Structure 1
Amino acid sequence: MTSLKESMKKDLLEFEKIINYDFKNKELLQIALTHSSFANEHKCFLYNERLEFLGDSVLGLVVSDYIFNVKKNFPEGKLTKIRATVVCEESLSKVAKQINIGNYLFLGKGEKISGGRNRISILADAIEAVIAAIYIDGGYECAKEFILFYLRDTIHNTIDGNIFRDYKTILQEIIQSKNEKLTYKLVDEKGPDHNKEFEMQVRSGGDVLGEGKGKNKKEAEKEAAKNALIKMGQL
């Protein structure tokens, strides 16, 4: 029977091929892909939270430096908004899915069963951890190359105003991470059949998180979710 460490080594080598980066220190990549739930089950393993912390800063610096130099006429406020849109869970989770990082994460049994391999927050955190691991292993330029390879299109789409943000999914992930549930409720409907306006509330428990209006219920729900995220300081 293949031992745990042998199977982990196989996964690490496969993942290196996917991201086209060969780690000098393989342990860094192992830590980057290890979730706390796995480390808690296997007491001898470190996990990726400290790397996430560093990776977030490296990511922010690379994106800031890139847009600062690409858009020399943009004021500070606009640069900040672009960076916030790029450096977010949604963008990072898309990168994570592109490289199938979820398949290579070392998760505890409970986290696997509850869908951890597809959870946006876990995927985004893992990408930040991998960025930090590359930064430590190969330096700033290697980390920059990795970040821009996967996020350059997102940066330019954001600059051009072509980025689409799925506010309902973002809000749902945030609320699920707190073990709470979201509900949407129709609170008003007015106007003639050919020109109706719907007003929806999004709630968690008994709390109203946000309200939104639209020409149909789905549009109103999206607006409610967006307004909830703004109130929560997530946008």
Structure 2
Amino acid sequence: MKLSAQLAAFAARLGHDFADPALLVRAVTHASMSSVYRDDNQRLEFLGDRVLGLVIAEALLQADPRAAEGLLAPRYNALVRRETCAAVARAIDIGEVLKLGRSEMQSGGRRKEALLADAMEAVIAAVYYDAGYDAARRVIMRHWAPLVGSVAADARDAKTALQEWAQARGAPPPVYTEVARSGPDHQPVFTIRVTLADGAFAEATAGAKRQAEQAAAQALLERVGP
């Protein structure tokens, strides 16, 4: 099997020459194509998530040999979470090579954060199956090394930090409410409000609920102080 010119260009951006090109084709095939392709990328995504986790955990230990687990865990979570995987996927244009069914194509699947993140993990697993752990590690570090080097010493996400802020003061957890939704169905925009027990609140708008929640939490953290 020979890769199409588009997939060959993607493999070059990824940094891996596939001995078995069919693995890459499977990795970029979404479940919505099941009527055309027998294999989609769901099982590869499951494995790729674990391979990514191991490589990142190892990289963090090597980057900061003295860091305690309590500091390593939030850094790890920041590097393997969906948003980060999707950001790496966008940087190497996975979206343009995804094989999607018509419904996903029409709903903007090439831009969906979840699809991009899942495909990134599936591609990692494809490299692992194709050439082993060392090859997968090389690919991951090619794209994640700058992130490992720049991840904050305290990399807790804003929602976690805000919840811990409230708990430290004996208050109940913050409440997140969707206050507005706009835009077409395939590209919605959400406005989320986060409220503390004392009535303090902040709002943020983003193209995904999770992003809007994080932005609202960050805004409220900046408002209430350390």
TM-score by length of 2: 0.71
The CA deviation at 1:183 is 4.3
Equivalent pairs counted in the alignment come to: 191
Does 2:224 correspond to 1:222?
A: no
CA contact (8 A) 2:75 2:154 kept: no
Q: Which runs of 5+ in 2 are unaligned?
A: 161-176, 182-187, 222-226
For 1:145-156, what aligned pairs fall within 5 Å after superposition? 145-156=138-149
Counterpart in the other structure of 1:63:
56
Bigger relative contact order, structure 1 or 2 (CA pairs below 8 A, ≥6 apart): 2
For 1:41-56, what aligned pairs fall within 5 Å after superposition? 41-42=35-36, 44-56=37-49
In the alignment, the residues of structure 2 paired with residue 36 and residue 186 of structure 1 have an alpha-carbon distance, to the nearest angstrom, of: 34
CA contact (8 A) 1:23 1:29 kept: yes
Q: 1:9 aligns with which of 4, 15, 19?
A: 4
For 1:80-91, what aligned pairs fall within 5 Å after superposition? 80-91=73-84
In the alignment, the residues of structure 1 paired with residue 64 and residue 214 of structure 2 have an alpha-carbon distance, to the nearest angstrom, of: 34
Counterpart in the other structure of 2:201:
199
Does 2:6 correspond to 1:18?
A: no
Which deviations, in whole Å up to 9, do the C-alpha atoms of 1:129-175 show, x marking residues without a partner?
A: 000000110111111111111111111211445899899xxx99xx9
Identity, in percent, stands at: 32
Larger mean CA deviation between 105-114 and 67-76 belongs to: 67-76
- Give the alignment's Cα RMSD to 1 decimal: 4.0
Counterpart in the other structure of 1:98:
91
CA contact (8 A) 1:198 1:220 kept: no
TM-score by length of 1: 0.68
Q: Which runs of 5+ in 1 are unaligned?
A: 189-196, 203-208, 211-217, 228-235
Q: Secondary structure at the match of 2:151?
A: helix
Q: Taking structure 1 as reference, are residues 155 and 166 closer, same or farther at Cα in structure 2, changes over 3 Å only?
A: farther
CA contact (8 A) 1:91 1:154 kept: no
Does 2:145 correspond to 1:143?
A: no
